[in-house]
Amino acid sequence: MTPRTAIQAAVRRLTISGVPDPTWDAAHLLSDILQRPALELRLDTDTLLTPLQEEAYEALICRREKREPLQYIEGETDFCGHVFSVTHDVLIPRPETEMLVAHAVHSAPNAACVLDVCCGSGCIGLSVKLARPDLQVVLSDISPEALAVARRNAARLSCDVTLTQGDLLTPFAAGHFALILANPPYIPSGECDHLQSEVMQEPRLALDGGADGLQVYRRLVQSAVTVLTPGGELVLELGDGEADSVSALAREAGFRNLSVFPDFQGIARMLVCRR
Q: How far is the CB of 259 from ligand GLN (least distance, A)?
A: 20
In the stretch 49-88, what mask flags binding to ligand GLN with x, by CB under 6 A? ----------------------------------------
Tell me 163's DSSP state: E
Q: How far is the CB of 123 from ligand GLN (least distance, A)?
A: 5
Residue 124 found at the interface with ligand GLN (CB under 6 A): yes
Site size toward ligand GLN, by CB under 6 A: 13
171 vs 1, 46, 121, 174, 224, CA distance in Å?
56, 59, 19, 10, 12
133 vs 6, 124, 130, 274, CA distance in Å?
45, 14, 6, 23
Among 19, 108, 119, 126, binds ligand GLN (CB under 6 A): 119
Choose between 91 and 234: whose C-beta lies nearer to ligand GLN: 91
Among 3, 22, 69, 185, binds ligand GLN (CB under 6 A): 185
Piece in contact with ligand GLN (CB under 6 A), picked from 36-44, 49-57, 58-66, 117-125: 117-125
Coil, helix or strand at residue 14? helix
Angle, CA 272 vertex, CA 271 and CA 275 arms, to 5°: 130
Residues 94 and 98: their CA atoms lie apart, in Å, by: 8
Residue 128 found at the interface with ligand GLN (CB under 6 A): no
Residue 169 found at the interface with ligand GLN (CB under 6 A): no
Q: How far is the CB of 115 from ligand GLN (least distance, A)?
A: 12
- Which residues lie closer than 8 Å to 217 by C-beta, 6 or more apart? 184, 186, 209, 236, 242, 245, 246, 249
Alpha helices in 75-142 (DSSP H): 98-107, 123-131
Residue 93 found at the interface with ligand GLN (CB under 6 A): yes
Among 3, 22, 69, 120, binds ligand GLN (CB under 6 A): 120
Q: How far is the CB of 209 from ligand GLN (least distance, A)?
A: 9
Among 3, 69, 184, 213, binds ligand GLN (CB under 6 A): 184
Residue 183 found at the interface with ligand GLN (CB under 6 A): yes
Residues 246 and 135: their CA atoms lie apart, in Å, by: 27
Residues 22 and 43: their CA atoms lie apart, in Å, by: 16
Residues 101 and 162: their CA atoms lie apart, in Å, by: 18
Piece in contact with ligand GLN (CB under 6 A), picked from 53-61, 112-120, 162-170, 244-252: 112-120
φ and ψ at 270, to 5 degrees? -140, 135
Coil, helix or strand at residue 235? strand
Q: How far is the CB of 91 from ligand GLN (least distance, A)?
A: 4
Q: How far is the CB of 124 from ligand GLN (least distance, A)?
A: 5
Choose between 121 and 247: whose C-beta lies nearer to ligand GLN: 121
Strands, sheet with 228-237, edge to edge from the N-terminal-most edge strand: 162-165, 136-141, 113-117, 177-182, 228-237, 268-274, 256-262
| Chain residues that interact with ligand GLN, rule: CB under 6 A | 91, 93, 97, 118-121, 123-124, 183-185, 206
